[in-house]
């Protein structure tokens, strides 16, 4: 993984917490911050995707289309089959 140095200013009590946790885990301060930041960013990305999905399926027309599609696929295994 390529890395890049970034200078940030954070409250002293946060630095103390980071140092305590990093010592307990046997990680460097930078590694711990990278891990925690990655976890937060992935959670944000996942929430964005969930929100977009929820927004799309809050539309009644899209829900109706999806229900029709599911009903169609439910009939695929029937003796009548499906028209292509």
**DSSP letters spanning 14-63:** HHHHHHHHHHHHT--HHHHHHHHHHHHHHHHHHHHHHHHHHHHTTSHHHH
Q: How far apart are CA 33 and CA 27, in angstroms?
A: 10
Confidence of residue 81 (pLDDT cuts 50, 70, 90): low
* pLDDT on residue 7: 94
Residues in the chain, total: 84
User: Averaged over 22-48, what is the pLDDT?
Assistant: 97
Confidence of residue 42 (pLDDT cuts 50, 70, 90): very high
Work out the percent of the chain whose per-residue pLDDT is above 90. Answer: 58
User: Averaged over 43-56, what is the pLDDT?
Assistant: 92
Report how far Cα 41 is from the mean position of its chain's Cα atoms. 8
């Amino acid at each position: 993984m390529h890395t890049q140095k970034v200078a940030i200013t954070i409250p002293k009590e946060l630095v103390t917490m980071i140092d305590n946790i990093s010592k307990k885990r046997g990680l460097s301060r930078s590694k711990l911050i990278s891990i925690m930041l990655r976890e937060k960013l992935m959670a944000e990305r996942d929430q964005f995707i969930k929100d977009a999905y929820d927004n799309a399926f809050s539309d009644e027309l899209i829900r109706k289309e999806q229900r029709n599609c599911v009903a169609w696929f439910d009939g695929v295994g029937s003796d009548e089959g499906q028209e292509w």
